[in-house]
Amino acid sequence: MSIAQALNSSLSGLRATQAGLTVVATNVANAQTAGYIRRDLNLVENAAGDLGSSVRIAGINRELDAYVQRQLRVETSGGAYADLQAQFYQQLQQIYGSPGSDGAIDTVFNNFTNAVQSLVTSPDSQAARSAVLNNAKLLAQSLNSMSEDIQGMRSQADAGIADAVQTANTALQKIAGINAQLSSLTSDSAAYASLLDQRDNYINQLSQLMDIRVVPGDNNQISVFTTSGLQLVGATASQLSFDASGAISATSQWNADPTKSTLGTLTLVSPGGGTVDLITTNSIRSGKIAAYLDMRDNVLVQAQAQLDDLAATMAKALSDQTTSGTAATAGAQSGFDVDTAGLQNGDTINFTYTDNTVPQQHTVTIVRVDDPSALPLANTATANPNDEVYGIDFSGGMASVVTQLNALFGGLGQFSNPSGSTLRILDDGAPNLSDINSASTSTTANSLSSGSTPLAFFVDGAVPFTGAFSSAGSQNVGFAGRITVNPALLADSSKLVVYGP
């Protein structure tokens, strides 16, 4: 070996050693740096003809298991979703209170029912009346407060979506920018490994917000997709768009139909300007964004509905009066007459019939509706999970009501209006087909001196609660936030026990 060859080999070795020391020093210095991946030199033999053999730095490798990295991102997304949901559920539990504690809803409700039971045994006791009204006010205020807190949580989730979208858009732009920088670099570049670390860091941030899939490409490029298949980053980055709603009330509802939705939606805007509604297509299924959406549009909506159902059940238990129909016949047909004069919007006609061909008994609830745009009603429109619910437009008078009912139940029997406000419900007259078993009306008392035990104890602000339906939706929605004790009762507690006019 000549002196020149020896010197060349030595110099290349020194350069490799120096580079190796730099890599080791960098590894030690960044041992606690979040997102840093340990480096290692990739050395190869370099044959240089007359100059002999030497060593060449082919690149700087990151010691990374790609499979573990992919799994980590999947778990990061799922973990972020579960953690955020757990935080919201903890807040919801605090709103409800620990069962049996002084401020818990079950305790407040039990105190009210106990006070009512005491009044039954001592109706002339002023103290008993005051106890009923005081506990009723506390119960209504508790429902009001809980409703307000739940809507506050929905507003919190809405704001969380807006913040997450902003963070996601920053990450998408950074990933696309680093892609562009890496396209002109080789693996032996000093900036190469650092840029890969930065890109991975932004991908990891994105995986906390949504479920993603990373696809490697040529020339150090990657593409990022949602697990549902929508591309987030390619040659350029797409953008997320979200119209935050600000303050949210119980009537604020997201709907796939934009004309019916009163909450902001989440949209993916491609570089070419195309848009996809990510909520309608269920394209984000994990991560913080999915958790926020689920809380805002599902879990907390259901929590509010449960409070509203409780408030509605209490109000109607005290204000509703059921009046049984009277037996009626016409030739071979038999059934019942019911008086619809006292029905208000939201009040009901109820009847049961037996289909003898099966045989099977059916429970039917006919709801008075004065706004036809609210029709049709869903079976979930009443608290009874076993009834068949039909909304009937009463705005056209009894003749129209009869026509609508015969169109719905023509195979069952016959509906008619023999006189005034009477509705007659008859079977088909054939003994082996159908039988009308019972019929009644359920009407809401709107005064404190109706001559009967039901009274308008709880009201919806200043109006009776009937569970009415309109184009704006059901009166039930948000009722827990509006329920109050009838001011006339607070002014005169004797109305609690005086039934006559």
> Helix crossing, 287-294 with 66-96: angle to 10°?
30
Query: Is 280's pLDDT higher than 80?
Result: yes
Mean pLDDT score across all residues of the chain: 88
- Structure letter (DSSP) for residue 72: H
Per-residue DSSP letters for 431-475?
A: TTTEEEEEEEEEEE--SS-SSSS----EEETTEE----EETTEET
Query: Is 13's pLDDT higher than 70?
Result: no
- Tokens 């009603």 map to which residue? 377
pLDDT mean over 99-117 = 93
Nearest Cα residue to 162 out of 57, 293, 305: 293
Q: pLDDT exceeding 90 applies to what percent of the chain?
A: 65
Query: Is 61's pLDDT higher than 90?
Result: no
For residues 13 and 27, what is the distance between their CA atoms, to the nearest angstrom? Answer: 21
Higher pLDDT pick, 25 / 349: 349
Ramachandran category for residue 296: left, alpha or beta (phi over 0 → left; psi -120 to 50 → alpha): alpha
Tokens of 24: 């080791």
Q: Write down the pLDDT at residue 11.
A: 66
For 273, counting Cβ atoms within 10 Å of its Cβ (0-12 exposed, 13-18 middle, 19+ buried), the class is exposed
Stretch among 187-201, 234-248, 338-352, 371-385 having the lowest mean pLDDT: 187-201
Which amino acid is present at 370? D
Query: Is 351's pLDDT higher than 60?
Result: yes
Query: Is 323's pLDDT higher than 90?
Result: yes
Q: Can the peptide bond before residue 385 be classed as cis, meaning omega within 30 degrees of 0?
A: no
pLDDT mean over 138-156 = 97
Q: Write down the pLDDT at residue 396.
A: 93
- 444 falls in which pLDDT band (50, 70, 90)? very high
- pLDDT tens-digit series, residues 177-196: 999 998 888 766 667 778 88
- 426 falls in which pLDDT band (50, 70, 90)? very high
- 297 falls in which pLDDT band (50, 70, 90)? very high
- 5 falls in which pLDDT band (50, 70, 90)? low
For residues 495 and 449, what is the distance between their CA atoms, to the nearest angstrom? Answer: 7
Q: Write down the pLDDT at residue 356.
A: 86
For residues 249 and 300, what is the distance between their CA atoms, to the nearest angstrom? Answer: 11
SS3 220: coil
For 254, counting Cβ atoms within 10 Å of its Cβ (0-12 exposed, 13-18 middle, 19+ buried), the class is buried
pLDDT mean over 288-308 = 97
Q: Write down the pLDDT at residue 431.
A: 76
Q: What are phi and psi of 253, to 5 degrees?
A: -135, 140
Q: Write down the pLDDT at residue 29.
A: 65
